[in-house]
Chain A
Amino acid sequence: MVENDERQMVNAEWQTVDRERRMGLGAYLRRVIERPRGWALSYLLTTGMALGPALLMTLAWAPLTRHPLFSQILATRSVDALSDFVMSGAGNGGGIWGTLALLLAFPIWVLARLIWTWLEGGTLAEYAAGQPLSWRAFAQAGWRWFGAFLTLNLLGAVLVGGVGGAALLLAVFVYMRSPALGWVIAGVGLALAGLIATWTEVARAVALTQNQRGVFQVLGAAARAMVRQALPLAALVGGGLALYGLLYLAHRWLVDLLPLHWWLPTLLIQQAYTIVRLGIRLARQAGQVGLVTALAAWYDTKAIMI
């Protein structure tokens, strides 16, 4: 009985959506920093899981650093050196460590995606909630939305892959006859794939704010939300994309300045880039929660007026 009450309390905790308070988008974006649990967990878990195969691959390839040409490939990203190295057979195989890393790649990737899906439930619930969640509520939100979010992720992947792949094939086919049209089709395909990815992402925010786990209902509601909030959503996604692009260029520029042997500064820059990039993604998702919440509040007001 006590346990049941506690669960209800916990549920109430993450179900408290700031609908009445009509918070601005900025407030939701700030929650990424104010409630950094999701951000930190995502980074730590990804990095932790990446460390294993990264070390295995390093062990596999470390003997290759006897060949200065190999170091040149890493340092200058020279396809010239790479082709000479590959053709020479000097880089053949990665030994037992490389094989192990390759064998582990897929299971680790699946596990990482599942953990991410679970984390997404807790993280988005925390951004949607009036108060920061307790660890328990965070975990429970993760479990509660796990099934729905996983379905949405799979559906999104199939749709993005299908539409993107078909557009790419069509673009290649058309490119043979009319290159300009081929590029247009590729561009449209890319935009469509981006739109679908955003759609499934907004659907997660809709599911959470409307406490709705029916995938098709939330996809419908997400489509309506995207139309209603088209401009702010475009600003959110476009702004995030632009920021991401700038960040990528800055990071690339910095890393390219560093010689291969300066591994520590490279590590710091690359990890800082990874952390900030993760922050941009979470900010976009928090913003989507904010936009969907604002829309729900608007619907509520409309209902009261009627």
Chain B
Amino acid sequence: MSNPKSKIQNLKSKIQNLKSKICCLWLALLCCVGLLRAPAPSLGQATVPPPDVASYTIVATYDPQTHMLTGQQTAMYHNHTTVPIPTLVFHLYLNAFRSAETLWLRESDLRLRGYSFDPNAPGWIRIDQIALADGTALTVKPLDDDETLVEVALPQPVAPGASVSVDIAFTAQFPKAFARTGWADGGDFIFGGQWFPKFGVWEEDERHGGAWNAYPFHANSEFYADFGRYDVALTLPQGWVVAATGTAAPTAKANADGTVTHTFSAEHVIDFAWTASPKYREMTRKVEGVDVRVVYYPRQRAMARRALQATAGALPLYHAWFGAYGKSLYPHLTVVIVPPDAGGAGGMEYPTLFTVGALGGMMPACVRMIEVEAVHELGHQWFQSVVATNEAEEPWLDESFTDYATIRAMNALYDGAIVECLGWNFSYLAMHRLQYIMYPDTPMAGAAWDFDSLQYGIATYSKPALALTTVERTVGEAAMQRFLSTYFDRYAFAHPRAEDVRAVMEETLGAEVTTWFFEQLVRGNATLDIRVVTLDEQATLEREGDLCIPTTVRVTRSGRQAPETLAWPCDTPTLTIDGAPRLVEIDPAGAIVLDRDLANNQLRRAPDPAAGAGLAVRWLRFWQDFLWGGAVW
């Protein structure tokens, strides 16, 4: 007689077996259907993200006449730490633009990227009412003079693992667009960024226990937020085209008063941005299984095509280098071409949406500013939207990977050139070098407000991008690939710090690279100039600066002999090469793009007669043109 338990076990096993078979059949069927369908590239294996922390349900109405928005928001915060949360902290970013006296506007000297604040068109946001879900009214206490950060005391702390939900009625006035968010084109354009009361990030650390990681809005600073779900219903006049952050297809419902309510939902995102205009046109393309949608003004069709082309070119590259877009959880991507008078809203990234057009109007095709902007902002979909580092405290973290990716993608798509006019070419990497060599000793680490705007650019964009390019050229593409994909994979939907990046770098690339990268570049102020000092009967090479990156030297002794390559370790400050070399080239592969001076890395013993003749030919042509009247035909 068999044991009933064993019978049940047996039955369970059979059911399990059957389930597996059904599952296999189902998978096989899916595969067949997939094979029969058009060969759309796979989205890859979707990641299971950690539970949402900060989620919002927002119902809002925007009035284009007054540029005001009234909203009702239910915001839910989940305590994922082991420390109870006694208060809630909200960012009210729009208050940074409420007068010329705010911290943000004082720090920025009333402008951002060349676009100025209009004191006659300020922006602000006000919490009209705030209450717990059970109706208990709460009080808002400003944490800074400008009220860009407010605190709400809770009657009961939120216990670890528990959630709190608050209902907020708020009113927001958008400024005239000059710094990411606002209206333009006489009110026919609106970009809604940083537009609703948004939670700070509750963090737990060894020193402070639990605390809100949130700062007043500073001019250089961008953002930091938890992942969550957004359900947003926006009511706008009829005929307006709306685009927004979203992971599901939006819906639209006409209202009796002539307005239309557009509903969006987005899961596992850190922010929600939207844009609308009655003038928007759109174009779409499916790339690597992602629905790419570009919205643009009628006269910006050419610009939109260029942005779409660049996006479609870079998306598969990033997919291959880092991992699937949104870890396969974001099926949509929206590219917003801002109108010419809203350049201040251009060049900004949000989850599943980014804007281009920071430089205003159309550029000739040989100037690829639109392309580089699209390629850069797309990169942020990986490094910020998914790997959500703290842009206020460690702004270099997301910009470094994004701008490094931009350099690499520009190399792959456009031979590196952001300008390629009349045969002259200029690369994105060289643009960064021009900025970097102004203050090469600026450490990359530092909060956004620690830097002035030039040093901020160097510390967060130029130097890190050049540093990562140097790493890639030192360790090779395959090793770099390991580093990048491990980092992205490990910290998708998380908030890594510099130390986490360091750990991944050390694990994948080894201690030597990690040491010079973190100790000398991230935290230190080391620089490097490797140079050929003299070259006669012997060559003297010097290494100036503390940055310790080993390199090689290629020595050509005569035209008949193959060049010889010597290793130059970084603990040797001076190198002497005998035997009257004809040509000496330090770092012949051009790996160390952090070198302060690249022009002194190579030297010939004597002038090159053929190059001299080539020079003479060109000078003759120049003077002929000059005497003849140049371009006048």
Chain A interfacial positions (CB closer than 8 Å to B): 46-47, 49-51, 53-55, 57-58, 61-71, 74-80, 83-85, 87-88, 90-91, 105, 108-109, 112-113, 116, 175-180, 182-183, 197, 240-241, 244, 252, 256, 260-264, 266-267, 270, 274, 277-278, 280-281
**Closest A residue by C-beta to B429:** A80
- Decide if A79 touches B608 in the complex (CB within 8 Å): no
When the two chains form the complex, which single residue of B606, B612, B613, B624 contacts A46, counting CB atoms closer than 8 Å? Answer: B624
- Can you list 19 residue pairs at the A/B interface with Cβ under 8 Å? A46-B624, A51-B620, A57-B619, A57-B623, A62-B615, A63-B607, A66-B606, A76-B425, A78-B426, A85-B599, A91-B599, A109-B627, A175-B361, A261-B610, A263-B613, A263-B617, A264-B613, A266-B614, A277-B633
Cα(A266)–Cα(B360), bound, Å: 41
**Closest A residue by C-beta to B621:** A270
Q: Is B622 an interface residue (CB 8 A)?
A: yes
Cα(A58)–Cα(B633), bound, Å: 26
Can you add 5 more A-B contacts, CB < 8 Å, to A78-B424, A80-B430, A84-B599? A66-B605, A70-B611, A74-B611, A83-B430, A264-B613
Contact mask for chain B residues 415-437; partner A; CB cutoff 8 A; 1 contact, 0 none: 00001000111110110011001
Most buried by A among B598, B624, B627: B627
B633 CB → nearest A CB, Å: 6
Chain A residues, CB < 8 A from B623 = 49-51, 53-54, 57
B416 CB → nearest A CB, Å: 8
- Decide if B611 touches A69 in the complex (CB within 8 Å): no
B522 CB → nearest A CB, Å: 24
Chain A residues, CB < 8 A from B632 = 197
Chain A residues, CB < 8 A from B430 = 79-80, 83-84
Given the interface contacts A66-B604, A88-B600, does A80 sit within 8 Å of B619 by beta carbon?
A: no
Chain B interfacial positions (CB closer than 8 Å to A): 299, 340-341, 360-362, 419, 423-427, 429-430, 433-434, 437, 583, 585, 597-608, 610-624, 626-629, 632-633
Chain B residues, CB < 8 A from A240 = 633
When the two chains form the complex, which single residue of A46, A55, A58, A79 contacts B628, counting CB atoms closer than 8 Å? Answer: A46
Chain B residues, CB < 8 A from A47 = 620, 624
When the two chains form the complex, which single residue of A67, A264, A278 contacts B602, counting CB atoms closer than 8 Å? Answer: A67
Cα(A62)–Cα(B340), bound, Å: 47
- Decide if B599 touches A263 in the complex (CB within 8 Å): no
Chain B residues, CB < 8 A from A83 = 426, 430, 433-434
Chain A residues, CB < 8 A from B613 = 261, 263-264
When the two chains form the complex, which single residue of A67, A69, A252, A264 contacts B423, counting CB atoms closer than 8 Å? Answer: A252
**Closest B residue by C-beta to A281:** B633
A235 CB → nearest B CB, Å: 16
- Decide if B616 touches A67 in the complex (CB within 8 Å): no
Chain A residues, CB < 8 A from B624 = 46-47, 50, 274
Cα(A76)–Cα(B619), bound, Å: 16
Given the interface contacts A65-B611, A84-B433, A179-B360, does A46 sit within 8 Å of B604 by beta carbon?
A: no
When the two chains form the complex, which single residue of B299, B602, B612 contacts A69, counting CB atoms closer than 8 Å? Answer: B602
Cα(A69)–Cα(B600), bound, Å: 9
Cα(A292)–Cα(B245), bound, Å: 67
Chain B residues, CB < 8 A from A277 = 633
**Closest B residue by C-beta to A71:** B611
Given the interface contacts A54-B623, A87-B437, does A79 sit within 8 Å of B615 by beta carbon?
A: no
Given the interface contacts A68-B602, A83-B434, does A74 sit within 8 Å of B618 by beta carbon?
A: yes
- Decide if A58 touches B341 in the complex (CB within 8 Å): no
A100 CB → nearest B CB, Å: 13
- Decide if A68 touches B597 in the complex (CB within 8 Å): no
Chain B residues, CB < 8 A from A58 = 612, 615-616, 619
- Decide if A65 touches B607 in the complex (CB within 8 Å): yes
Chain B residues, CB < 8 A from A84 = 430, 433, 597-599
Chain B residues, CB < 8 A from A70 = 611
B35 CB → nearest A CB, Å: 46
When the two chains form the complex, which single residue of A46, A74, A87 contacts B614, counting CB atoms closer than 8 Å? Answer: A74
**Closest A residue by C-beta to B588:** A68
Cα(A80)–Cα(B603), bound, Å: 18
When the two chains form the complex, which single residue of A61, A68, A74, A267 contacts B604, counting CB atoms closer than 8 Å? Answer: A68
Chain A residues, CB < 8 A from B619 = 53-55, 57-58, 61
Given the interface contacts A65-B612, A88-B598, A180-B362, does A274 sit within 8 Å of B621 by beta carbon?
A: yes
**Closest A residue by C-beta to B359:** A179
Given the interface contacts A88-B598, A178-B340, A179-B360, does A65 sit within 8 Å of B627 by beta carbon?
A: no
Most buried by A among B603, B604, B611, B626: B611
- Decide if B599 touches A69 in the complex (CB within 8 Å): yes
**Closest A residue by C-beta to B583:** A68
Chain B residues, CB < 8 A from A80 = 425-427, 429-430, 433
Closest 4 A-B residue pairs measured CB to CB? A179-B361, A88-B599, A50-B623, A80-B430
- Decide if B340 touches A179 in the complex (CB within 8 Å): yes
Given the interface contacts A67-B603, A270-B621, does A87 sit within 8 Å of B597 by beta carbon?
A: yes
When the two chains form the complex, which single residue of B361, B437, B618 contacts A182, counting CB atoms closer than 8 Å? Answer: B361
B280 CB → nearest A CB, Å: 17
When the two chains form the complex, which single residue of A85, A177, A256, A260 contacts B610, counting CB atoms closer than 8 Å? Answer: A260
- Decide if B361 touches A180 in the complex (CB within 8 Å): yes
**Closest A residue by C-beta to B430:** A80
B583 CB → nearest A CB, Å: 7
- Decide if B626 touches A66 in the complex (CB within 8 Å): no
When the two chains form the complex, which single residue of A54, A65, A88, A112 contacts B597, counting CB atoms closer than 8 Å? Answer: A88
- Decide if A270 touches B617 in the complex (CB within 8 Å): yes
Cα(A178)–Cα(B360), bound, Å: 9
Cα(A281)–Cα(B633), bound, Å: 7
**Closest A residue by C-beta to B535:** A66
Cα(A38)–Cα(B623), bound, Å: 20
A287 CB → nearest B CB, Å: 14
A196 CB → nearest B CB, Å: 12
**Closest A residue by C-beta to B629:** A113
Given the interface contacts A74-B611, A83-B430, A179-B362, does A66 sit within 8 Å of B598 by beta carbon?
A: no
